Structure formats: C-alpha cells, structure tokens
Structure 1
Amino acid sequence: MSILGVESVLFGVDDLALHSRFWTDFGLPVESISATEAVFRLASGSRIILLPLGDARLPSPDPFDGNGVKLTVWGVDNAENLERIAASLATEVAVTRDAEGTVHCVCPDGQPIALRIWDKRPVTSAASPVNTPQTQPRFNQHRIWRHKAIPKTINHIVFFSPDYVGSFEFYERHLGFRYTDHSKGVGIFARAPGTFEHHSIFWVNCDLPIAPDHFKFMHIAFGMDDIDEVMLGANLMADKGWKNTTMNTSGGISRHRISSAIYYYCEIPGHGGEAEYHADTDYLDDNWVPRAWDFKFGSLLWAASPPAIFRGPDIAWDMRFDADRQSFDPFRKAASGKRPMTGELSRLTQDDEHAL
C-alpha cells in the first residue's frame, strides 16, 4: 500500500489568531492553539498545522511568498516502504531526514514534501439513503439531522505547477501515485496508492491565464458525509463573515463531472488559497481506467450559476479512455517557462478558476 494519504499539512500564516479562527469556524477539530502554533486533527488522524511565516519549522527557502501551504507531509504505512521511497527519491533529488526520521525533499516543480510513518485512523461516517420516485431506501425514516459541518479527512490538495505532466510523473516514479484523470491543458489528477478517493493531489497548469508562472498552493479539500453537511458548512461560514470564492460565478455549491464531487470553496484569509468542503466523490482502485477530458465538459455537471464558458448547448461530450496517456504529449514541457495558451483555454478568467 505504501502512501496512505496526507498525514499533515503545514501552513505559513501572517496572522495566527485570524487563521486559527477561520479553521475553527470551518469545523476542524482543535487539538491545540498557542501563541506560536495551531494544530487541528481530523478523525482520520490527518493534521492541519498553522505556523507563523518565517518559523524555523517551515521549509527554507519559502516555496512562494505569502500565506498558504508550505509543506505537504505524506503518510507511509511502514518503515520498509518509507526506506524504499527515500532511496528512490535520492536517485533524482536531494533527500534529508529530521530528528524524528521524517524524510524531506523538494520536487523538481518546487514543491517541498515530507514522508513519515503514519498510523491512519479508521473514520466513522454516515449519510442518509437517497429516495427516488422508484426506490425509497429511506422509508419511514427522516434524514440525519446535522447541526454543523465536521470535516473527516483531507481528500486532496491542489497546486499550480510549471510542468504539470512532469509533476505527476515524478510522483508516479518515486511515490507510486496512480494516474486517475486528465483535464487536457488544465491538469492531472492522481491518487495515492493507499487511498480510494478519486484523487489525492491535482496539479494545475501554470500556463493558464488564471495561474501564476511558478509553483504555488491553490486549495485543499476536506471529506464530508453528504451534500447536507457541505451546505450547512457553507451557510455557517457565510454567517461568520467568511468569503465564498465562487459566490458570483458557479453559485457557491456545484458538482464536478470528472470526479463527481460536490464542492464549495471558502477563501482562506490573506490570499492564502482556498478550503473546500467536498462530498460524494468517486472512489476507485487499480481497476480504474484513466480518462482524458475536454476541460469544459469535465469541469461542471451542474452549478447554480455556471460561468459562461462552461454552459450552453455547444458543450459537447468529449472524454476518452487514456490508459496509453496519449493526451499527455501536447502538454509536456521541453523547457521551463510559461507558454502562451491558445484556443478556448486562453479565454479562462479568474471567475472561471474554481469550476475547473
């Protein structure tokens, strides 16, 4: 199995009190909050750790300016697999270990990562059966009554990459990640080998007009039980004054076509990326056949008010199975640097970003 998913994520923040309040309101269970750090631990055992910008526990040099995820720590199932991964990484990049035995390196795209042994916890989770006009599995039974949103897992994390095909292939080569789906020209979805969620990481193409020209954190997604819990969280965050990054574009809550997931984004303070409530995604294993999608067709199944580029009668079915990875070739980078986009991808704007 080896990598079981995200063990912890370290954020660098400019206002520890403000960011601690954001994540508390978001529903993350508090483990500890002090003047120098805040730690939140989810039911799976995954942690969100907030540290002041410039803290010695954060990677140096800083992978990008400002607030956001500075280090992703992947959890490994046992010592033998950790050693195997460390040896593989060392054939291509410099590898170090800290006093606790955690393995550290920087990926070719500029992403700092770490790996450590992780005793991942089983999660207790429940959703109400869904009635239809033909079948009523919830007969004489009310839906689960929820009071607030409680994220259970870290489902995935997303970064802008200057070479998104190369970023995936590095993870595949050394960490054993599985290719799941490709939104052509936008990015690649990949799954850690010890998880079943549709993707554990997504790399977004830095060539897009919405993107920076360098590695940067985009968003992090948390697993919720159902659409009710997602909407409850959205309402409560709005009541507390936190911004929804898609309120004026995709109507707040939407569903992707590629991964089937229902989603809602909240803006992390200080332009620190986004936090996503995430439910009803596809779950899969190594029998899955990867697919390549046109970005317009794959992005949205529905939204309350989808951006113009993702709606209309001309959104044609455009998906093919891609086990041979032929879809990768037009997007491989022979050299570093941002390439100008052509065609419909060049018309993407910041308003379209979170529908991708």
Structure 2
Amino acid sequence: MAILGIESVVYGVDDLETCTRFWDDFGLAPLSRDAHESIFEVATGSRIIVRPRANTGIEDWFDWPGVKLVTWGVDTPEALEALVRDLERDREVRRDEDGTAHAVGDDGMPFALRVWAKRTVVSQPDPVNAPGCIQRLNQHRKWRSRARPKTLNHIVFFSHDYVKSFEFYRDRLGFRLTDHSEGLGVFARADGTNEHHSIFWVNTALPVAPDAQGFMHLAFGLEDIDEVMLGANIMAERGWTNTSANSSGGLSRHRISSAIYYYMDNPGGGEAEYHCDTDYLDDNWVPRAWDWKFGALLWAHRTPSFFRTDHDGWDMRFDPEGKSLEPFRKAALSDLPAGLGQISAQDEHAL
C-alpha cells in the first residue's frame, strides 16, 4: 500500500486566461482548455487543473488564489479502500463516481485520494565535467529549446500547527518524516516515492507568513541545471518575475534537500518552482532536525545578512524519532527559536 505522490492539484484563480498562459510558458503539456478550466500535465501524468475561484467545485478554504485541493495518487484500489476505511473511523469521507475519496485533515485542510497509474519517467542528464574529473570526453552536451517539467515533486502549505498537520499525514496516510527546520516547518515524503519531500508545512507564526492557513508554492522536477536555467530565462523573457515579498529570488540550492531551485511568482497564487538534483530517499533515511537559519537555503542573489556572517548555534542533528517536533506543536511567536520571531525586513526573503 503506497501513496505515489501528487496525482493532481486544483487551482482557484482570478484570471483564467493569464494563468493558462503562465503554464503554457512554464512548459507544461496542455491536455484541454475551455472557458471554465485549463488542464495541463507533466511527464509522470500529474495534472494541474486551473479554474476560476468562483467555480472550482471546492470549498474555498483560504481567501487568496492558489491550490485549493491536492489529490494524492494511490497505487492500488485495495490500498485506496484501506485508507478510506481508516479515515472513516473518525471523519466524513465523500466519494466521487470515479471512486475518488475526499476528506479533511486534522488541521482543516481538504485533500483527496485516487487510484493513479503513475507513468515512469527516464531521464538522461549529461555527465558533468570538472577540472581533474572528466566524465564527458569528446562529447558535446545536448542542447535544449524548452524546459519540460517531468514531475510534480512537492507542495507547500502554511499551517497554524505544522506538527499537527504532519502527524495526521504520518499516522493516517503513511507519510515519512524527512527533515525538520525547527520553528519554521517540517518536510514529509509520501511512502511510495523517493523524492526528498512531497509536502512541506510552513509555520504561520513566522513574521513573514500570512496569518491564515493556505497555499505557498508548487515544485516541478526537471532533468538538470541546464533545463532549470533555460526555463528561468524563458519565463523572464516572457515577463514572468520572481520579485514577490516571499521569494527566495534567483537560481540557488537548498541546504535541506540539496535541490537546485528557481522560484517565480504565479498569477494563479503563490509561486511555481523549477528544481533539479534533489536528494532521493528510502526508508533507510534518518530524519534530521536543523537550526532554522542553517537549513533554509544556500545561495541566492538576495542572500539574507545572516547567511553572510558566522553564527553560533548553526547545527543539524539526527532525529530518528522526531522528538524535535514536540516543542513546536502550535508554536506562537514567543515560542520560536531566537531570531526567528524578529526577522528584519531585508532578511524576509530567507523564507
């Protein structure tokens, strides 16, 4: 029994035409479009469904545009029914005609489960040369004309109690704890995928976070850094920016997950992320607890000041039982680690 990752997401947007153009430029494969919705997919078959906010068919559980529903893909009908039976012990589960199951987590966020025939993707990134380490001899690198996302790797939500949000997914849906950025949020992996995380919950108590639960960003996996750079350049040429207050602007690499990334503002809400070269894990992975400053990101052209100086207390420790989570259950500003509740304006891009 396994959840294979994100089967689909439904966006509720204010301008369907503009949002459709965004995903066209982003490199997603169009499946269908009309006056009521646009549907795109990536190579694995994960779908992005874009609808006007007033007509998503989903209760609008937060007040700004963005992803209103995530449907998680389940590997078999038997696995889906087992998950549904367990959920029905203490909450309502609504079924669609196609068998899709809808429920609400302990934090109030809706989700759905559906049997999914996830497509296999085979990537062939070119070997990388370095001084003294020749991996590609007498061979030219491939040349690309477009970025084409292969996977829908993960989604990020703001949560009032990120520990509670995670524990529901762990205990009821089988997700694995990957890493904990103490006071900032927690990363979790669906049990049927090897990508570092399938979902990340960010603490709404942070000074730069909204006061309400809701959507932050969606991340798409590409083959290599060439494809990330090409996608970023094409999006910039077509007028799409990464200048929002919460953007970690520029081409950079995460310290947690190791992924090379590039975020951009999404007119449909939140941000869209290109990334590549993320960590891949299995159940032999030992979760880690990170000092929030040390774990946030590695390099960016708007690098916060605390990344440019040495700081005492930057640390990472192994946390196989997730004990680091307990102090941050429904954390208030007064409970956050030193400095996390008083981020300066010039440093807000760290998140």
Sort the TM-score into its range (normalised by shorter chain).
over 0.9
Question: Cα distance, 1:339 vs. partner?
Answer: 4.3
Query: What SS class does the counterpart of residue 347 from structure 1 fall into?
Result: coil
Q: Which amino acid aligns with 2:256?
A: I
Question: Does structure 2 retain, via aligned residues, the 8 Å contact 1:246–1:252?
Answer: no
For 1:346, the equivalent position in structure 2 comes to 341
Aligned pairs for 1:27-38 within 5 A: 27-38=27-38
Deviation string for 1:236-275 (max 9, x for gaps)? 11111111137997551110111101111110116x1000
1:207 alignment partner in structure 2: 205
CA distance 1:107–1:22, change in 2 (3 Å): same
In the alignment of these two chains, the number of paired residues is 350
Which residue of 278, 282, 286 corresponds with 1:285?
A: 282
| Contact 1:221-1:277 at 8 Å conserved across structures | yes
State the TM-score, normalizing by the size of structure 2.
0.95
One-letter identity of the residue aligned with 2:322 = R
CA spacing shift, 1:14–1:246, aligned 2, 3 Å: closer
Distance in 2 (CA, whole Å) between partners of 1:320 and 1:42 is 36
Within 2, Cα distance between the matches of 1:174 and 1:306? 38
Distance 1:310 1:249 in 2: 16
What's the counterpart of residue 133 of structure 1?
A: 131
How far does residue 293 in structure 1 lie from its aligned partner after superposition?
A: 0.2
Q: Compute the RMSD of aligned alpha carbons.
A: 1.9
Q: What per-residue deviation string (whole Å, max 9, x for no partner) do you get for residues 37-60 of structure 1?
A: 1000111000000011121x5322
2:65 to 67, 71, 84: 67
Among candidates 159, 162, 179, match of residue 161 of structure 1: 159
One of 322, 326, 330 as aligned partner of 1:325:
322
After superposition, what is the alpha-carbon deviation per residue over 1:178-227, rounded to whole angstroms, capped at 9, x for unaligned?
00000000001000000000000000011111112221000000001111
- For structure 2, the residue ranges without an aligned partner over 5 or more in a row are none
Structure 1: stretches of 5+ with no match in the other structure: none
Q: How does 1:266-277 map to 2 (within 5 A)?
A: 266-269=264-267, 272-277=269-274
Q: 2:13 maps to what in 1?
A: 13
How big is the shift at 1:310?
2.7
Q: Structure 1 pair 246/307, CA: closer, same or farther in 2 (3 Å)? A: farther
**Are 2:260 and 2:276, in contact at CA under 8 Å, matched by a contact in 1?**
yes
Query: C-alpha distance in 2, partners of 1:207/1:36?
Result: 36
Q: 1:180 to 1:342 in 2, by over 3 A?
A: closer
- Taking the TM superposition and a 5 Å limit, the aligned residue runs for 1:206-285 are 206-245=204-243, 251-269=249-267, 272-285=269-282
Identity %: 61
What aligned pairs does 1:84-233 form with structure 2 within 5 A after superposition? 84-233=82-231
Quickly say closer, same or farther: Cα 1:338–1:91, change in 2 above 3 A: farther
**Partner of 1:304 in structure 2?**
301
Code of the residue aligned with 1:285 in structure 2: it is: D
Preserved CA contact (<8 Å) 1:177 1:193: yes
CA deviation after TM superposition for structure 1 residue 107, in Å: 1.2
